[in-house]
Structures are given as C-alpha cells and as structure tokens.
Amino acid sequence: MTKRRAAAEQQVLPLPSRTRIFTISNQKGGVGKTTTVVNLASALAKYGARVLVIDLDPQGNASTAVGVEHREGTPSVYDVVVGETPMEDVVQSSPEAEGLFCVPATIDLAGAEIELVSMVAREQRLARALQEYLERVDFDYIFIDCPPSLGLLTINAFVAANEVLIPIQCEYYALEGLSQLLKNIKLIEKHLNPKLRLSTILLTMYDSRTNLAHQVAADVREHFPKETLATVIPRSVRISEAPSYGQSVIAYDYGSSGSLAYLEAAVEIARRGVPR
C-alpha cells in the first residue's frame, strides 16, 4: 500500500479542456452515491482541480460531508431550482480543500418535486442556472448528488450533466434496477439531453475476502468493460465514519485504504478524459 500511495501522490493530473459535469446516480439506495461524490470531489481538488459539488438530495448529506452550512433557511440549491436565485449567490467554499465548493441542499428541497410540476421548462431549471454560472466562473469538475429516485430533481441532474457515474456495490442484488436506470438515461439522452453518456461505473463496498464480491465485480466488468474503473472502493469503517465528522475520508484519515482508493479512482477518471 505504501508504494501505491507514493504513486498516487506523485501523479500530476491533466485538467479537462472543458468542464466535466457528472451526475452520480443509482435508484438503489445505500450504494455509496454521496460517499463517492464527496470523496472524488475532494480527491480531485487535492490534485489541484477546481471542483463544485451540487447537492440535489433533500437529506443534504453531501453538504454535511464537505463541511458547509445547510441549516433550514440557508441559501441553497432550492432557491436556484425553484426560485430565480443565481447560483453564485448560494455557492459556499468547503474547508476541505482550496479548490472545493458546494451548492448545499436544505430540507426546503423536500417539497421541490411538487413545486416543479407546474413550472415552465421544469426539467431544465438546474441546467440553465448552471450554464449561466459557468459563463462567469470556471470549474474543472462538477459532481451532482441525486436523491435515490427518478423524480424531477434527478431528471434536472441528468439534463444538466454530460456524464453519468454509477456506483455499484459488490453485494447481492447489485445489478437490480440497473437496466431500468440505463433505459431512463437513454430516454433523457433522446428527448432532453443528447450530450448525456454513461461514462463511468465505480465498484464500491468491495470485500476481497468474499467470493460474492469477486463474482459481482466480474459480472459488472463483463457487461460494462469500457465504463468500469479498474479501481475498486473497499469496505471501510473509515469511509463510513468520515461524514459524521463533516469530512471526506481523504481529510478524515488520509492514510486509510479508503482514502487511497478514492485518490486512485480520481486519477483514473482524470486520465480517461471526456468520452467521445
């Protein structure tokens, strides 16, 4: 692990020529979506990239994990998507890293699904706000954390992004619901966002001691050979503990196996570049 860490720390990552916007999605809960968002964002910021996390989940777990304020009444993504507030008015810098920023989610977002129903261009509201913001501010990577359901908030995330990253846990029922998710991505690509691509699959909660983990990993790689990262995220107590301290695992325990795995995954994503 010492050699791996030394190799990861010596990496100089290429920065993308245009902003890469990822939606991290999986309709199945508990697969490590938010964990993946905050740790990849923190890792890329550590390598010198400018990174924005957009928390589109009413629970606000991504906001907590990067250490930004998101109490009720805090200017948040709700004001951007449902109101007309410019994104720069709600972005906060994270104490995690110099180049890491967050658009927080508050509990106000819980009612946004209902409020969006009657709105004009309801699927494009996040995309428009984000594009206006990117005309004034540069970012290398943007990660959008979705709720674990395909409602209007998740559709807004898909319409705003150009890449989809799916975390898949190495456990029973890992591929359950995945075919439906892929159909939904295709529908959105066809009708709302022709730039959208499934670019990345990340295997999470990998326990190398079990045959099941090896089997799930082999199945996923067989079905998605190009999209699946070589890096796998291990089962790790440190990864689970970090959010309760308002930190990513990289800030919480830099020396842990979980931290190293996310650094390696970030390197792989950066080196792969934008899919053609």
Q: Please, which pLDDT band fits residue 1 given cuts at 50, 70 and 90?
A: low
- Angle between the N-to-C axes of helices 178-191 and 152-160, in degrees from 0 to 180, rounded to the nearest 10: 60
Instruction: Report CA 5 to chain centroid distance, whole Å.
Output: 23
| Residue 188 reports pLDDT greater than 70 | yes
Cβ atoms < 10 Å from Cβ of 68: 25
Taking residues 196-200, report their average pLDDT. Answer: 95
State percent of the chain over pLDDT 90.
67
The CA distance from 20 to 243, in Å, is 25
**pLDDT value, residue 274:** 55
Q: Please, which pLDDT band fits residue 145 given cuts at 50, 70 and 90?
A: very high
Which tens digits make up the pLDDT trace of 80-117? 999 989 999 999 999 988 999 999 999 999 889 899 99
| Residue 60 reports pLDDT greater than 70 | yes
Contacts for 188 with CB less than 8 Å, ≥ 6 apart = 155, 158, 159, 196
Which tens digits make up the pLDDT trace of 246-265? 899 998 998 899 999 999 99
Cα within 13 Å of Cα(13), Cβ side: 26
| Residue 119 reports pLDDT greater than 80 | yes
Cβ atoms < 10 Å from Cβ of 205: 23
The CA distance from 122 to 81, in Å, is 9
**pLDDT value, residue 20:** 97
Taking residues 19-38, report their average pLDDT. Answer: 87
The CA distance from 120 to 124, in Å, is 9
**pLDDT value, residue 158:** 96
Taking residues 184-213, report their average pLDDT. Answer: 93
Which tens digits make up the pLDDT trace of 63-85? 999 999 998 889 999 999 999 89
The CA distance from 47 to 96, in Å, is 13
Using the structure block, give the residue that is written with the tokens 């020396």.
255
**pLDDT value, residue 270:** 94
Taking residues 186-190, report their average pLDDT. Answer: 94
Residues comprising the chain, all counted: 276
| Residue 156 reports pLDDT greater than 90 | yes
Q: Are 253 and 263 in contact (CB under 8 A)?
A: no
Write down the pTM of the prediction.
Answer: 0.94
DSSP string, 180-221: HHHHHHHHHHHHT-TT-EEEEEEEEEE-TT-HHHHHHHHHHH
| Residue 43 reports pLDDT greater than 90 | yes
**pLDDT value, residue 162:** 96
Question: Alpha helix locations (H) across the chain?
Answer: 2-9, 33-46, 61-65, 77-81, 112-117, 125-134, 152-160, 178-191, 211-223, 237-241, 249-252, 257-272
Cα within 13 Å of Cα(122), Cβ side: 13
The CA distance from 65 to 76, in Å, is 16
Q: Please, which pLDDT band fits residue 170 given cuts at 50, 70 and 90?
A: confident
The CA distance from 47 to 97, in Å, is 10
- Sheet strand arrangement including 100-103: 92-93, 100-103, 51-55, 141-145, 20-24, 163-169, 197-206, 228-234
**pLDDT value, residue 44:** 96
| Residue 32 reports pLDDT greater than 80 | no
Q: Are 25 and 167 in contact (CB under 8 A)?
A: no
Specify the 3-state DSSP secondary structure of 92.
strand
